[in-house]
Amino acid sequence: MSTPLEQSDAHQPLHAVQQRPKRADARRNYEKVLAAAREAFAERGASTSLEEIARRAEVGIGTLYRNFPNRQALLEAVYVDEVEDLCRSASEFDGLPPWDAFVAWVHRLVGYLATKQALAHELLEYVDRDAPLFKTCRESLLSAGQPLLDRAQHAGELRPDTDLWEIIQLVGGIAKIPAAEPAHTEHMLQIALDGLRGARRDRERGVEPAQ
């Protein structure tokens, strides 16, 4: 079964950006480098050297270059992997009530947006903002999150006068606040979520609608 990223854009599927190796041993090395890069970028920023990433992955620099011929290829693969993880996570919340499922995914979204900033900034050294990579990632994100938003709105749990892109921008603003403590970020996110609650949820909480 194809991932949300693979389904989202017939002109530029993201799995074409970086094909994973088919041989088991090569696939293991690919995944080790990718995991090491994600960890290094999260800890030290996207400017971390490829030599440091190879050391963390416990592979030779030649193995890294066989999988990722240049820095741009590795940055793109990590960026795509982050988006794919977030898209796949949407299905994990199918069994939750509509509002709880939406909130759970928004929390995942905050984590993704907090870590993607450095990657996106570094990638803009190689591609522009309208590149197919960013366009397809954005479309995939909207496609994955839209069913959660629709379910919450249809249940009256989420205000009907907003859309997913607006919410992503709202959450992104919170995630971008520099040097914010996790507790502070969580508090601001909770304030934003309270503002997104629908009329039915307000009635259940005994909140009178504004006149």
- Going from N- to C-terminal start, the domains of the chain cover 78-204
The pLDDT tens digits of the residues spanning 3-24 come to 444 333 333 444 444 566 667 8
* pLDDT of 4: 41
Which tokens go with 12?
């530029």
Share of the chain above pLDDT 70, in %: 82
CA–CA distance, 82 with 105 (Å, rounded to integer): 14
- Reported as a single tens digit per residue, the pLDDT across 49-77 is 999 999 999 999 999 999 999 999 999 99
78-204, which class in CATH? mainly alpha
pLDDT digits (tens, 9 = 90+) for 186-208: 999 999 999 999 765 555 555 55
Burial class (CB in 10 A: 0-12, 13-18, 19+), 116: buried
Name the band, by pLDDT with cuts 50, 70 and 90, for residue 118. Answer: confident
